[in-house]
Amino acid sequence: MERLEDFDITCVLAENPGPFTLDGSNSWLIGRDPCWIVDPGPPIDSHLDRLAGEAAVRGGVGGIAITHDHADHSGGLEGLLERVGDVPVGAAAVSRASELLADGDDFGPLTAIATPGHAPDHLAFLAGEALFTGDAVLGHGSVYISPDENALAGYLNALDRLIALELNLLCPGHGGPIFGDEARARLIEYRDHRLDRERMLIEALEGGARSSDEMLAHAWGDVPAILKPAAEATLAAHIDKLAAEGRLPAGAQRPDIGEYGGL
């Protein structure tokens, strides 16, 4: 059975478990002399101490890549830099980033792949046959989609691009790594899950549902109450996609999600 060690990758798990973060946030280290870090994680001193210690064992840090600017992935950046020194920071939109990355850009051994959906600035990072997915794909469960412009269409397009890659390992932002053929299978599962939600939403609309509560009950009825705000945000993204495609019936209510930003 393949292991992370076979890819010269290590995971440092933050102690921030929860309904959105699963067992906690993953910070990934790849290579050595120097190593590169994907996502410093939350600003928890014990986590940053362990991460810096592991990096020292690997010969120091060449750079820090950030998948997206949510606190559970990027919040520990300043604290980590205090521990490892002033190294390059690559991201699509983080105020402390020294290199702003876009789709296809190289950053050390990593190649950035735009994966909007969960966040407009979201990047995945490819290193050989390993893909660091951030919150685009988790070790288990699903992710919410932030209702930004073209968010859901962009997310589905990104998943199709990832499915086409030759991958042997997924390193998600939360949950355990996924090896071998299961990596591509998980990506397909995520795409099909999102399309299935769309199918159920259309089914609800065709049945006369127009309020957001009716649509949620039909298409997201299996979601626990604590995750309802995330389901509402995702519903809004689905509604936006149908509207952009001219497939949204008149009178369909888009959830008022306010300033919900999720994790």
First-to-final CA distance of the chain: 32
What is the per-residue pLDDT for 188?
98
What is the per-residue pLDDT for 259?
47
Band the pLDDT of 15: cuts 50, 70, 90. Answer: very high
Overall average pLDDT of the 151-171 stretch: 98
Band the pLDDT of 258: cuts 50, 70, 90. Answer: low
pLDDT above 70 covers a percentage of the chain that reads 97
- Which tens digit of pLDDT belongs to each residue from 108-138? 999 999 999 999 999 999 999 999 999 999 9
Q: Hunting for tokens 């590169």 — which residue is that?
A: 36
Is 118 strand, coil or helix?
A: coil
Q: Which two tokens stand for residue 68?
A: 């997206």
pLDDT above 90 covers a percentage of the chain that reads 94
What is the per-residue pLDDT for 260?
45
pTM metric for this prediction: 0.95
Q: Hunting for tokens 């280290």 — which residue is that?
A: 29
Task: Evaluate if residue 162 carries a pLDDT over 90.
Answer: yes
Task: Evaluate if residue 262 carries a pLDDT over 60.
Answer: no
- Which tens digit of pLDDT belongs to each residue from 192-249? 999 999 999 999 999 999 999 999 999 999 999 999 999 999 999 999 999 999 999 9
Overall average pLDDT of the 66-70 stretch: 97
- The structural domains of the chain, ordered by start, are 4-193 (3.60.15.10), 195-244 (no CATH)
Q: How far apart are CA 193 and CA 191, in angstroms?
A: 5
Give me the helices (H) in the chain, please.
45-57, 71-74, 77-84, 151-163, 181-206, 212-219, 228-244
- Residues contacting 180, CB < 8 A, separation 6+: 2, 168, 169
Task: Identify whether the C-beta of residue 148 lies closer than 8 Å to the C-beta of residue 162.
Answer: no
- Residues contacting 112, CB < 8 A, separation 6+: 65, 90, 92, 101, 102, 103, 104, 105, 106, 123, 124, 125
Paired strand residues for 49: none
Task: Evaluate if residue 181 carries a pLDDT over 50.
Answer: yes
- Residues contacting 4, CB < 8 A, separation 6+: 10, 11, 169, 177
Band the pLDDT of 95: cuts 50, 70, 90. Answer: confident
- Exactly one of 39, 69, 72, 240 is catalytic; which is it? 72
Q: Which two tokens stand for residue 110?
A: 């990593």
Overall average pLDDT of the 16-27 stretch: 95
Overall average pLDDT of the 68-72 stretch: 96
Task: Evaluate if residue 261 carries a pLDDT over 70.
Answer: no
Determine how many CB atoms are found less than 10 A away from the CB of residue 197.
20
Task: Identify whether the C-beta of residue 135 lies closer than 8 Å to the C-beta of residue 70.
Answer: yes
Q: Hunting for tokens 């269409």 — which residue is that?
A: 153
Supply the mean pLDDT for the chain: 95
Q: How far apart are CA 203 and CA 191, in angstroms?
A: 18
What is the per-residue pLDDT for 2?
65
The amino acid at 187: L
What is the per-residue pLDDT for 1?
45
- Residues contacting 139, CB < 8 A, separation 6+: 22, 172, 174, 175, 176, 177, 178
Band the pLDDT of 154: cuts 50, 70, 90. Answer: very high
User: Active-site residue 72, yes or no?
Assistant: yes
